[in-house]
Amino acid sequence: MKLEESYIDVMGIRIRVARKPGTSKRPLLLFNGIGANIELLEPLMQSLKGIECVIFDMPGIGESEVSRFPMRLKGLVKLSVQILDHFNYGHVDVLGVSWGGAMAQEFAYRNPKRCCKLILAATSAGAIMVPGKPTVLMKLSNPKRYFDKSYLKDISQHIYGGQLRNDPDFMEQYTARVRPPKSTRGYWWQLYAASAWTSAHWLHKLKQETLILAGNDDPLVPIINARFLHSRIVKSMLVELDCGHLFLMTLMDEVSPLIHDFLNSSLISDETASVH
Distance CA 104, CA 125 (A): 11
Report pLDDT for 273. Answer: 56
Q: What is the pTM of this model?
A: 0.93
Range of the domain at 78: 4-275
Apex CA 189: angle with CA 133 and CA 200, to 5°?
Answer: 55
| Segments in the chain below pLDDT 70 | 266-276
Q: List the CATH number of the domain containing 86.
A: 3.40.50.1820
The number of distinct structural domains making up the chain is 1
Report pLDDT for 275. Answer: 54
Active site residue 195: no
Residues in Cβ contact with 169 at an 8 Å cutoff, skipping those fewer than 6 apart: none
Report pLDDT for 67. Answer: 95
Report pLDDT for 153. Answer: 80
Report pLDDT for 267. Answer: 53
Residues in Cβ contact with 110 at an 8 Å cutoff, skipping those fewer than 6 apart: 74, 77
Q: Which residue in 64, 67, 80, 98 is the catalytic one?
A: 98
- In contact, 56 and 64? CB cutoff 8 Å: yes
Distance CA 235, CA 171 (A): 35
